[in-house]
Amino acid sequence: MDIRSIITASVLVFTVLSGIAFTENTQPAPQSGRVLGLAFESLGVSSLEKSVAYYKAIGFSVVGDENPPWTKDEAANHLYNTPGVMTRTVALTIASAGSGKPFTLVLREYKDFNRRSRADFPARNPSSSHMGVIVPDADTLWEQLKSAGLLRALSWDAKLVRMPGQTSGGIAYVMDPDGFNIEIIGVNQGQAAAAGTRKPSLHHLGLVVLDAGKSKNFYGNFLGGKFPNTPPQWLSGDTYDAAVGGRGFVINLINGAFPEAAAPQTEMRFELVEYQKPIRQDVEEYRYSDVAVNCVGFQVDGLDALYSRLKAAGIKAWSEGGIVQKKDGTRAVVLRDPDVGAFVELFEKN
């Protein structure tokens, strides 16, 4: 893999630290009903205790109660189409690599409800997602995860893959307790110190798609994300394969971006990953409540107007009855993206 490919794949360390933008504006979203920014990622888990312990180990911090009681929230059940169920929810945060502001991860466990598992869901299946986390001392984290029995590496030989010029750190895909993918981006200790990077931070969110053009239209033209106007080059090579545990994978990596809801002047990368030979040519049926299923949350201004445009374009709602008002007054709706059926929550604060 040449240097240009490595940069495009966002695996070269200096690219991660420098915050270089790879995006160009697509058609701007209308001002009446628009996305303000990326706000959270939510994830269904099989065991809250195991998942909380894992995410704390890789640098997330719990917000509020770490051992919440089981509750039945009818508004949430309408929103997520989980009628009558009880849940436990824990929110964690990690600093954004761009702004330093907290980005939220919501872990949700369901009780007495028939749930399927997407455990060990292949990283290249359509609608498979990942989070990219920058780790200043990845070698130490790697050994700590291994010692604690929490390391589930996908990379070749279960090792960090050094990039050209790296003497420490590297990149590798790992799995959380339910098989959700995390991309560890380990930086050289000297580079981390020079950049003032001392704690793990969230670099990007990623989604595997079937049709990059269709996904760019939804996340770009409808939701206002920025994506390249020029087609990306197909990428391949041992460096990439070693990191993700592949054999001959060839991909299109579309480096998009959205503003951060907590810091709209700063953008967070939102990757669309298209495989030349996907493991499936269709989209697996799954529900919001299934284990290892994720949802990305966008804060919006003018939810009714945006939702009306999306409905008119044939975008399907997952929420029961459309827009739902939560207990705190926030109004929200969950949609399925038109390419791979990924869950997207749009919400508007009072």
Tell me, what's the pLDDT at 16?
41
CATH code, 210? 3.10.180.10
Angle at 79 between CA 75 and CA 80, to 5 degrees: 120
What span, in angstroms and rounded, lies between the C-alpha atoms of 118 and 121? 5
Query: Hey, is 81 helix, strand or coil?
Result: coil
Give the pLDDT confidence score for residue 127 in this predicted structure: 87
> Total domain count for the chain?
1
Residue partners of 79: CB distance under 8 A and separation at least 6:
319, 320, 324, 326, 332, 333, 334, 345
Q: What's the pLDDT tens digit per position in 232-281? A: 788 999 988 999 998 899 999 999 999 999 999 999 999 999 998 877 77
pTM of structure? 0.91
**CB neighbours of residue 51 within 10 Å:** 23
Of 252, 257, 135, 266, whose CA–CA distance to 204 is shortest?
Answer: 257
Residue 114: the pLDDT is: 81
- How does pLDDT run across 99-151, given as a tens digit for each residue? 999 999 999 999 988 888 766 556 678 888 999 999 999 999 999 999 999 99
Q: Residue 331: give the domain boundaries.
A: 3-348
Torsion angle in degrees (nearest 10) through CA of 315, 283, 181, 49: 80
Low-confidence ranges of the chain (pLDDT < 70): 1-31, 118-123, 189-197
Q: Tell me which H or E stretch contains 181.
A: strand 181-186
